Structure 1
Amino acid sequence: MSHNQRIVSGMRPTGPLHLGHYFGVIANWIKLQEAYDCFFFVADWHALTSEYADPTRIKGFVPGLVKDWVAAGLDPDKCAIFQQSQIKEHAELFLYLSMYTPLGWLERCPTFKEMNAELTQKDLNTHGFLGYPVLMAADILMYKPKAVPVGKDQLPHLELAREIARRFNHLTSSEFFPEPADMLTEECKLNGLDGRKMSKSYGNSIKLSEPLDEIIPKIKGMKTDESRLRKSDPGDPAVCNLYPYHKLITDPARLPEIQEGCKNATWGCVDCKKVLIESLERFLTPLHERRAACTDERVAEILAAGNKKAREYAAATMADLRALVNF
């Protein structure tokens, strides 16, 4: 397949994936693997940008991330699943692109300022954190993809990758790096169980690998429409934290019944939660079965095959680049 049919994307191994990850990222990847030559990578070097002081857990999170991907529906026969740190050419391209990237481009990157302000418990004033958009550019440009699936929050990074590609091409009088398009991922409107953003750090998520008997108490305690103090109080699904879960997971044929029961107060929130628990069981059971079948040995096989494919592309890219810059 030519590069104009290639897709590249990755995720940091920082812990188990939850429903927000599935509907915000993975569901789209599953569709893309059917139509494109997809490269999905475990971004363990990127995890170092914020976890450098205690990197011991990163390696342990790698197999779990691959298992979550396979459980969710990524098929290693249809896409390359590889580990960033095992393709040393990424570090080499990062070095080359760093030489071509003006410092001001990185300092004005909005994510650098935002994360520095938010993660006050960590010292992010490092060269690695400032420069990680260049590493991201290397991850992408290495495979000369047609497009990169991103959320709106990642658009500045992708635009920076395109700017770096343009500058490199201009200074080398070449068209070495095609500029990848953005393939905007539909925003996942799924808050955490408490109404805040779903996050591992908040403890308000439903993990893809979580047993149902641990999920049920979470659903029972889930925040709903605050105006419904009693079952007889009519509610509004549009402001209920639970209803977006139904829209994503419950059989669409049941949604009118759920809406009517809430608005007319013929259903209580307990009834609504019972249906959601049933829906989650139907949704998660096959994921749990696929995850159980994906052993550590199988993960090693998947990464070995994906690393081999990625390394072949990366080695060819770097051989051509070295020749271009006369190294």
Structure 2
Amino acid sequence: MEFQTATCKPTILTGDRATGPLHLGHYVGSLAQRVDLQQKYEQTILVADMQGLTDNAHNSKKVSSNILNVVADYLAVGIDPEKTTICLQSQLPALAELTMYYANLVTISRLERNPTVKAEIQSKGFERSLPAGFLTYPISQAADITGFNASLVPVGDDQLPMLEQTNEIVRKINSLAGRSVLNECSPLLSKAPRLPSTDGKSKMSKSLGNAINLGASEKEISKAVKSMYTDENHLKVEDPGKVEGNIVFTYLDAFHPDHEYVQSLKAHYQRGGLGDGTTKKILEECLQEMLRPIRLKRMEYLDDKAQLIDLLKRGSEVSREKTNRVLREVKGVFGLNIF
């Protein structure tokens, strides 16, 4: 496979932590968008294995064993390595060095005020056992973004504080230099609504088992759909039901190709006469049809791990050159380019 050469297209950086296979939430929130973006932008996708260790260092196999799973997911949904560079964070030492320089420009109190970090700390129950690497996650993310001189970063609105902190670091570096060394980045917000977990109780998570993975088997898809929360007051088929907060209809809105048909189902459900079993069956058929080709492609890619490793290696080599150039500029700001 050939990799893209430098162009004058705007640069996009996006990526995922390698802590498990990707799921439908990733597909709606970012993967489908990335497939479209690669046609118009110079896009790099970073497999963030080092950031995966910030809360998994005690179980590093969870990260290392999922690197190729994530790459296979990318390819299976249509991300093309001839148009998008896919690279591995741990193979780009410039990013770790940039993180160190930036860490000297950010206070602990500023990191603790970051609402995204605060929410994650609370959800993981870290309290005072918080790993330092997790607290400094925004600094590492700033190194990733600036390391590629990315001007656009696709994010959900919950990630906006991370980009704000990145731009604060950019302004500090530029101020120290007395010139523009780094570019500020702008968010590229996804128009897709956030997909709820299948249990409807918490955010979709690889570790909580409340998501449908892109490589899910037919049995796993069926089990997940059958367990979905609907309307607890919809006790009989003839009873009127609620579609707001009904996970089945949320997923139908996100994945069923016939929007008008879904609207007619909603109207039928609301006036009564449409059972939960029927709506779940419709959703299951939709997801089975959508995920079958992705699952098969994913299996094919994972059957040839050497090809995935080679793809990742070559993408990392291309990215190493880019990030090393930025690192040299930043080291120059601190007067560290002695030789």
TM-score range, shorter chain: over 0.9
Contact kept? 1:84, 1:90, Cα under 8 Å: yes
SS at match of 2:154: strand
Shift of 1:58: 1.2
1:22 aligns with 2:27: yes
Query: Among residues 271, 280, 302, which one is paired with 1:273 in the alignment?
Result: 280
SS at match of 1:136: helix
Query: Among residues 295, 298, 302, which one is paired with 2:311 in the alignment?
Result: 302
Gaps of 5+ in 2: 1-5
Q: Hey, what does 1:82 align to over in structure 2?
A: 87
Q: Hey, what does 2:162 align to over in structure 1?
A: 157
Q: Equivalents in 2 of 1:280, 1:130: separation in Å?
A: 37
Contact kept? 2:239, 2:273, Cα under 8 Å: no
Alignment of 1:107-256 (within 5 A): 107-120=112-125, 124-196=129-201, 197-252=203-258, 253-256=260-263
- Runs in 1 of length 4+ with deviation above 6 angstroms? none
Contact kept? 2:173, 2:330, Cα under 8 Å: no
SS at match of 2:247: coil
Q: Hey, what does 1:49 align to over in structure 2?
A: 54
Shift of 1:124: 4.5
Query: Among residues 100, 106, 116, which one is paired with 2:105 in the alignment?
Result: 100
Which segment is superposed worse, 38-47 or 267-276?
Answer: 267-276
Identity %: 32
Contact kept? 1:87, 1:310, Cα under 8 Å: yes
1:315 aligns with 2:321: no
Q: Equivalents in 2 of 1:70, 1:185: separation in Å?
A: 20
Q: Equivalents in 2 of 1:136, 1:3: separation in Å?
A: 24
Shift of 1:317: 1.7
Q: Equivalents in 1 of 2:127, 2:251: separation in Å?
A: 33
Gaps of 5+ in 1: none
Which segment is superposed worse, 308-317 or 252-261?
Answer: 252-261
Contact kept? 2:237, 2:275, Cα under 8 Å: yes
Contact kept? 1:20, 1:188, Cα under 8 Å: no
Q: Equivalents in 2 of 1:68, 1:119: separation in Å?
A: 26
Q: Equivalents in 2 of 1:110, 1:217: separation in Å?
A: 35
Q: Equivalents in 1 of 2:176, 2:72: separation in Å?
A: 42
2:242 alignment partner AA: D
Closer/same/farther in 2, CA of residues 123 and 49 from structure 1, 3 Å limit: farther
Q: TM-score, normalised by structure 2?
A: 0.90
Shift of 1:187: 4.9
Contact kept? 2:12, 2:151, Cα under 8 Å: yes
Shift of 1:2: 5.4
SS at match of 1:238: coil
1:106 alignment partner AA: L
SS at match of 1:256: helix
Per-residue CA deviation, residues 81-101 of structure 1 (Å, 9 max, x unaligned), is 110000111111112222233
Q: Equivalents in 1 of 2:263, 2:59: separation in Å?
A: 49
Which segment is superposed worse, 315-324 or 114-123?
Answer: 114-123
Q: Hey, what does 2:37 align to over in structure 1?
A: 32
Contact kept? 1:89, 1:314, Cα under 8 Å: yes
1:194 alignment partner AA: D
Closer/same/farther in 2, CA of residues 98 and 239 from structure 1, 3 Å limit: closer
Q: Equivalents in 1 of 2:63, 2:45: separation in Å?
A: 18
Shift of 1:315: 1.8
Q: Equivalents in 1 of 2:139, 2:299: separation in Å?
A: 37
1:65 aligns with 2:79: no
1:302 alignment partner AA: L
1:319 alignment partner AA: R
1:211 alignment partner AA: S
2:265 alignment partner AA: I
Contact kept? 1:116, 1:124, Cα under 8 Å: no
Aligned length: 327
Shift of 1:141: 0.4
Shift of 1:129: 2.1
Closer/same/farther in 2, CA of residues 190 and 272 from structure 1, 3 Å limit: same
CA RMSD in angstroms comes to 1.9
Shift of 1:43: 0.7
Which segment is superposed worse, 184-193 or 91-100?
Answer: 184-193
Q: Equivalents in 2 of 1:145, 1:108: separation in Å?
A: 25
